[in-house]
Amino acid sequence: MAPAVCRTLLGLALYTGSLFAVSGATFLYHDYCIIGAGPAGLQAAYFFQQAGRDYIVFERSHAPGSFFALYPRHRKLISINKQYTGKSNSEFNLRHDWNSLLSHDRRLLFRHYSRDFFPSADTMVRYLEDFASLLKLQVQYNTAIIHVTLEKNEQAWNGHYFLLTDQDRKNYKCSSLLVAAGMWVPNVVNFPGSEYVEGYETVSINPEDFAGQTVLILGRGNSAFETAENILGVTNFIHMVSRSRVRLSWATHYVGDLRAINNGLLDTYQLKSLDGLLEGDLEDLAIVKDKKGKLHITLRFYLENGNISAGIDSITLPQDELDNFATRAPYDRVIRCLGWKFDFSIYNRSLGLMPGKGNIKKYPQIKPSYESRGTQGLFILGTASHSVDFRKSAGGFIHGFRYTTRAVHRLLENRHHGVPWPSTVYPITQLTNSIIKRVNEASGLYQMFSVLADIILLRENATAFEYLEEYPVGVLAELEMQTGRKARNGLFVIIMEYGRNFSGADKDVFYYNRAVGEAQHAWQSNFLHPVIYYYKHLPTERGMKLRPPDWPLPRPDAIHHIVEDFLTDWTAPNAHILPLRRFLENCLSTDLRNFFAESCFLFAFTRQKLPPFCQQGYLRMQGLVGSQELRHHAVQAGLLQDYTHKDFLDHAIPVRPLQHLVNAKDEL
């Protein structure tokens, strides 16, 4: 090879997008490859860009957010866009902004793009385009990755490289692969006559096309009810069939269940206006088309002895035996609205990327750290990562996975670049205030309840603590390895939870006395509320596996529920703060109260051990300086004794500024 060529290749290897030749093929190299420029892919790109990492995003379309260019078909999102909360705290306001991605740029808040409470999907497309362009994210458009495989290499971060091939047979290599391609392959149920079924992805969205027709919808999610809502006013009637009963989001507290914006069919069903809901296994169905083009619903086993090609007259229908069979009336159209599943087709077997089991089979199998169970270094982001918290939290939606994506980035920063999980160290006197501040404003804890938690690592002798935000509780046993932080002296875990028996399709969430108001009954709180777990030692992997059913964490050494609050404002001195402080004091065997300088001065002469506030404040010439106004307030609150003027002259040490008090102690 010529020296000039060698120098050129060496130069390329020093820059982002290095070239490698393997078995005659040339690979463009990046440390991180991201498949998909939807919300999760762009969110990951933002964090990598802020950290100065070498990454690339592959997007098959000509613009980001291609899913939202098509779906939802009727163009109205069900993610709320609350303009006003009565507060200016940006972190708190994200609790009620379900569309914005996380960034430092205040222009990229979704409220600047739409004032609609349920905005248009077209607005989301425009927002994602701006997010990618304004932040100058490295997105390679019109690049469809069609094959992914592994190449073993001991020098690679994870013992292998990921090799990607696009539609033009161009090759790419990366050390870590993040899949943010979403769920876009339609769920299809095959049964006799399923060829007569129209798919949600192609069915007409013009209500006039359904005028005077009778329609059967297969499915019971938001796409099914969205479709029904669009044609409710023009059809003869609509029937909807699914294997499970309808789940209302206000009962399950799961945002993926049926939302009120789409539930008009429930009104017309329960108020006797012809429409109706049915339960049944779709795989047991069969559809037969008559000479007039009408679609008749029958059951698969009726076709076993009949010849479907001979026509409907030769087939036994359920109403032939049961004349009041629910779906005996023929339908003009049958529409499939069964949601989507992950596309496994492009991944080679060597990656070990397998579907989940049971009700999460549409998702790939991943760990609570969002890493594939089959391949180290392969992470699943966004909607496809929802198996971690399916039907429990918001990880399948923007307002949830924007936080889990940040958590994955922090895990990777520690693993590959030696950057520990961000943390802040405070004196122990700030423990109560730190917890109260976070539970009242943190959006990640609030949206990803029971999944992400704040971790407080205690320092030796509980004189200080280290605060880590929004760590995945499913990998709590791996905290030291995943974060680069040590948990040698015990820890607190702060998490948000609903009551154990308050969520479910069959629950009456509007019953009388549903709310708990007394602090002593806080453990019975039903609505979302903070829960603090205390562990003397970091839980083990075995402890995590043996945790009680439906518990996010193993049994702690102590636990405290902050009583639910109607305003989600946990700042009441007696109901919220005082019980929390006493719980922390019992766990740490210390006094976490704040004191006036006079009290600390008195304690210095009457106690063997000063409270932490006096040790870390008063003895360092910090704290509240005495004044007539403060003294009057302290006396009224019972914090100081009310000396008479004579008693004060005869017995008390004069009230002086803090500096004089310290000098007086030194002199004595």
CA distances from 543 to 87, 88, 211, 366 (A): 41, 41, 59, 20
What would the mean pLDDT of 435-456 be, rounded to a whole number?
97
Percent of the chain whose pLDDT exceeds 90: 74
Q: What is the DSSP string of 595-656?
A: -BHHHHHHHHHH-SS--HHHHHTGGGT-SBPP-HHHHHHHHHTTSS----HHHHHHHPPPP-
Is the per-residue pLDDT at 10 higher than 70?
A: no
The per-residue pLDDT for 652 is 43
- What confidence category does residue 16 fall into, taking pLDDT thresholds of 50, 70 and 90? very low
Q: What is the DSSP string of 13-49?
A: HTSSSEEEEETTEEEEEEEEEEE--SHHHHHHHHHHH
Burial of 43 (0-12, 13-18, 19+ CB in 10 A): buried
Question: 197, 171 in Cβ contact below 8 A?
Answer: no
Residue 576, phi then psi, degrees to nearest 5: -115, -55
Q: Which residues are CB-neighbours of 108 under 8 A, at least 6 positions away? A: 100, 101, 127, 130, 131, 134, 135
Is the per-residue pLDDT at 603 higher than 80?
A: yes
Is the per-residue pLDDT at 659 higher than 90?
A: no
CB atoms closer than 10 angstroms to residue 566: 8
- What confidence category does residue 663 fall into, taking pLDDT thresholds of 50, 70 and 90? very low
- What confidence category does residue 310 fall into, taking pLDDT thresholds of 50, 70 and 90? low
Burial of 651 (0-12, 13-18, 19+ CB in 10 A): exposed
Is the per-residue pLDDT at 413 higher than 80?
A: yes
- Which comes out higher in pLDDT, residue 176 or 500? 176
Is the per-residue pLDDT at 295 higher than 50?
A: yes
In this prediction the pTM is 0.89
- What confidence category does residue 621 fall into, taking pLDDT thresholds of 50, 70 and 90? confident
What would the mean pLDDT of 445-453 be, rounded to a whole number?
97
What would the mean pLDDT of 132-161 be, rounded to a whole number?
96
Rounded-to-integer distance, Cα 249 and Cα 501, Å: 15
What would the mean pLDDT of 534-545 be, rounded to a whole number?
96
Is the per-residue pLDDT at 8 higher than 90?
A: no
**H or E segment and range at residue 258:** none
CA distances from 440 to 82, 305, 407 (A): 18, 65, 21
Rounded-to-integer distance, Cα 258 and Cα 238, Å: 17
The per-residue pLDDT for 197 is 96
Tell me the pLDDT of the chain averaged across its residues: 89
- Which comes out higher in pLDDT, residue 374 or 661? 374
**H or E segment and range at residue 140:** strand 139-140
Rounded-to-integer distance, Cα 218 and Cα 297, Å: 12
What would the mean pLDDT of 19-33 be, rounded to a whole number?
78
Report how far apart the first and last C-alpha atoms of the chain are (Å, whole number). 86
The per-residue pLDDT for 618 is 76
What tokens were used for 619? 């003895």
pLDDT tens digits for range 204-225: 999 999 999 999 999 999 999 9
Residue 494, phi then psi, degrees to nearest 5: -105, 125
CA distances from 26 to 12, 60, 176 (A): 13, 21, 18
Say whether the peptide bond before residue 355 is cis (omega within 30 degrees of 0).
no
What would the mean pLDDT of 248-268 be, rounded to a whole number?
93
Rounded-to-integer distance, Cα 444 and Cα 531, Å: 15
Question: 163, 148 in Cβ contact below 8 A?
Answer: yes
Rounded-to-integer distance, Cα 582 and Cα 565, Å: 19
